[in-house]
Chains A and B, each alone.
Chain A
C-alpha cells in the first residue's frame, strides 16, 4: 500500500471557520496534488506542486490555498469555510510520469 496519509478523515464544521486539511507522504515524491470530488462526479484538480516551494492552481477555481515547505507535507487551507466547500478532498503524490498514489480522502461538511 502507498504511504500517503490524510487527516482528518471526516470533518463537520460551521461556516466561517478556518480549516486546514493535512496530507503527508513518505515516498519522497516530488509531485503532490489536491483534488475535489463530489459524490458520483469526476475528480477536479484544485492545486498541485512540483516540489518544495512550488505551488500551482489547478483546473477548478478554488478559494483554498496550499503550501509546500517540506517535500512530504502538502496542507490545504480554507480561510473561511462556506457550505459550498462541502465535498470530498483527495490528496495524491507521484514521481514524474509515474502513477499517482491517493490518500483516503477527507470528507468535509460545512454547516
Chain B
C-alpha cells in the first residue's frame, strides 16, 4: 500500500461545479499536510496548508481527519483555470522529514 493515496481521476466537471478530492495516508505519525497544484509541464506550487481545524482560502477549503487518516480539498464554483493536477503532500514527524507526495488527482473544468 502506498503511503499517500489519491484517486488519479480525471474529474471532469462543468464550470461553477463544486468538486472534492480526498487523500489518504498510512503513517499515523504524520504531522504536516499540504495541497499543491501542478499545471501540465510546470513545477508543483503550494496551494494551501491543511490545519487540524480545517481552513479556507477563497473558493478552496481543506480539511484533515486524523481518526480516518485522510485530508480533503473542496473547490467551489470551479473555474476553467482550476484545471490542473492536485497533489497531496504529507510530512511525518521525526525521522527523515522527507515529504511524501501522492500521485495527484487530475481535474478538468469544462465550459
Contact = CB atoms under 8 A, between A and B. Distances in A.
Nearest to B102: A42
Contact of A99 (B31, B34, B93): B34
Interface stretch (B42-50, B53-61, B62-70, B75-83): B42-50
B89 interface: yes
Contact of A45 (B40, B98, B102): B98
A40 B15 CA distance: 23
Contacts of A90: 43-44
Interface in B14-61: 31-32, 34, 36, 40-46, 49
| A contact residues, range | 20 to 34
B11 interface: no
Contact of B49 (A96, A99, A104, A105): A99
A53 B4 CA distance: 30
Given A42-B104, A97-B31, A97-B32, A102 B98 contact: no
Contacts of B98: 33, 45, 48, 58
Interface in A56-107: 58, 88, 90, 94, 96-105, 107
B6 to A, nearest CB: 10
Contacts of A48: 98
A20 to B, nearest CB: 20
B56 to A, nearest CB: 18
Interface in A23-68: 31, 33, 39, 42-43, 45, 48, 50, 58
B43 A102 contact: yes
A94 B98 CA distance: 10
The listed residue with most A CB atoms (<10 A of its CB), out of B89, B93, B99, is B99
22 contacts: A39-B41, A42-B103, A42-B104, A43-B87, A88-B41, A90-B44, A96-B97, A97-B31, A97-B32, A97-B91, A97-B93, A99-B32, A99-B34, A99-B46, A99-B49, A100-B44, A100-B89, A100-B99, A101-B46, A102-B45, A104-B42, A105-B43
